[in-house]
Amino acid sequence: MLAMQQKETELQVMVKAAADAARQAEWEFHNSILGMKEAVRAQFGPDSNAAQAIGYKKKSERKRPRRRSA
């Protein structure tokens, strides 16, 4: 019984370590994608087709806020 409990504890530790490693890899990927998007905006500008291709809205296509008349 004690050997099986020890094995269970070791497996739980391994699962937690693997989950932490996967989460860290996800964050690194996310941050690299954000860096790539900023690089595209810096190189081509906020109103370019390249910025639109990676998911941003063109600056010229944004609607300006309108004042509401009361």
pLDDT at residue 16, rounded to an integer: 98
Mean pLDDT (the chain) is 92
The Cα diameter of the chain in Å comes to: 76
pLDDT at residue 27, rounded to an integer: 98
Q: What is the pTM of this model?
A: 0.69
